[in-house]
Amino acid sequence: MSDRNESDRLQQESTFQRLIRRPEAGSFAVMVVVLVLIAFASNGNAMNALGIKNNLSIISQFGIIATGAALLMIAGEFDLSIGSMIGFAGMSMAMMLKWGLPFGLGEATPFSAFFITLAMTLSLGWLIGTIVVRSGLSSFIVSLGFLFGLRGVTEVTFRLINQSTQISGLQDFKETSFFARLFGGESFGWFYDLAFALGFNLNRRGEQWVTGLDARVVWWMLVVLIAYIILSRTQIGNWIYATGDNKESARANGVPVNRVKVGLFMTTALCATIFAACQVFDTNTADAAKGNLKELEAIAIAVVGGILMTGGFGSVIGVAFGAVTFGLVANAVFYIPWIDGSFYRVFVGAVLLAAVFANERIRKRITGGI
């Protein structure tokens, strides 16, 4: 009997050890701690009906771009142009919605404005990836060049066309266009309706307080789900991991390394465009300065989510946990008055350094200390 108990104990320890070795284990633990602390510090206000809506709005924005950045980092590359791509995409859509399609092709609809912009951003992603794989230059340097160049071109071009780098007062296309509602409307209304029926989600007058979550929450969930399926259930996922682990070995085994990398740069451009579309159709405004520093936040969230800086290892589930953590802390200033908003940057720096050290230990354990 004692031998059996000892065997069971060893088996349980082995299961626990397997769990803590998973790439998302650390980010999950940090998320739980932050969630509990903010819930208590805000007297539960961060977790009421409106708090959940506002928190998930920020979390989903982080999550969309961080997931794209994480896939690219697993393949061993970085994209610092994400923030500039957001600003360019938002201004492009808003400009077409305000002034019409280019070359006098007529009035733009949310559908046409989005897909013309998407064609441009995917082309830019393809260009960045092609330069990286053809030149052999560091993706850090190449995308850094596009960070500055694309931001500058966006500001100069739209200032010439629009006499301003901001566009406001657009028609609320959500009222007339189903496609616009897909990005700027609300989702999970049934959840808040149910909460209202059960006596929650009430304002001070006893009316329904919140009618639904922002549509971007659904986009975040879709992006995470698709990325998870690709990484864990498809050959492309194996190619991504192999490319980040050892690209020469992967190439020798028939992995189309260059195509994988170019495709992932296009994926980050896609995520940036979805991010921008959610902003434009939600607020009916655009600004060339939007997306500033979002590329660094996306990379930080990916690292906190367990993605190794050296590539070849990571999980999108961990990145989702990281997005929740960052979103809660970024929004905490609205629920905890005595917290200075600048502490968000302090938190990012501290957690990022801790995650890098933890991930380095994981890398050495995986590689046997190499």
pLDDT in tens, 113-156: 999 999 999 999 999 999 999 999 999 999 999 999 999 999 99
Q: What is the pLDDT of residue 205?
A: 76
Q: What is the pLDDT of residue 366?
A: 58
Rounded to an integer, what distance in angstroms lies between the CA atom of residue 90 and that of residue 178?
A: 19
Rounded to an integer, what distance in angstroms lies between the CA atom of residue 231 and that of residue 254?
A: 18
Buried b (16+ CB within 10 A) or exposed e, 26-56: bbbebbeebbeebbeebeeebebbebbbbbb
Helix residue ranges, H only, the chain: 2-20, 25-41, 49-74, 82-99, 110-135, 139-162, 178-184, 189-197, 216-233, 235-245, 247-252, 257-283, 294-304, 316-331, 343-367
Between the CA of residue 202 and those of 54, 190, 335, what are the distances in Å? 16, 15, 18
Strands 286-287 and 186-187: unpaired
Q: Are 106 and 97 in contact (CB under 8 A)?
A: no
Q: What is the pLDDT of residue 192?
A: 83
Chain-centroid distance of CA 81 in Å reads: 14
Give per-residue pLDDT as tens, 167-214.
Answer: 988 999 999 999 999 999 999 888 888 887 777 877 777 778 788 899
Enumerate the domain spans of the chain.
53-367
| Cβ neighbourhood burial of 21 (10 Å; 0-12, 13-18, 19+) | exposed
Q: Are 285 and 171 in contact (CB under 8 A)?
A: no
Give per-residue pLDDT as tens, 2-11.
Answer: 455 545 544 5
Q: Judge if pTM exceeds 0.85.
A: yes
End-to-end alpha carbon distance in the chain: 43
Helix residue ranges, H only, 163-293: 178-184, 189-197, 216-233, 235-245, 247-252, 257-283
Here the tokens at position 348 are 């990012």
Between the CA of residue 248 and those of 53, 98, 173, 245, 364, what are the distances in Å? 46, 49, 49, 9, 20
Tell me the torsion sign for CA atoms 128, 68, 85, 152: negative
Rounded to an integer, what distance in angstroms lies between the CA atom of residue 319 and that of residue 67?
A: 7
Walking along the chain (370 residues) 10 residues at a time, the average pLDDT comes out as: 49 60 77 89 86 93 97 96 96 92 82 96 98 95 96 92 87 94 92 80 78 94 97 95 93 95 98 97 94 92 89 91 92 79 81 78 60
Q: Return the ∠ at Cα 316 (arms to 310 and 317), rounded to 5°.
A: 130
Q: Are 201 and 49 in contact (CB under 8 A)?
A: yes
Q: Side-chain half-sphere of 279: how many Cα atoms within 13 Å?
A: 28
CATH of segment(s) 53-367: 1.10.3470
Q: Are 320 and 224 in contact (CB under 8 A)?
A: yes
Between the CA of residue 194 and those of 30, 125, 181, 347, what are the distances in Å? 31, 42, 22, 36
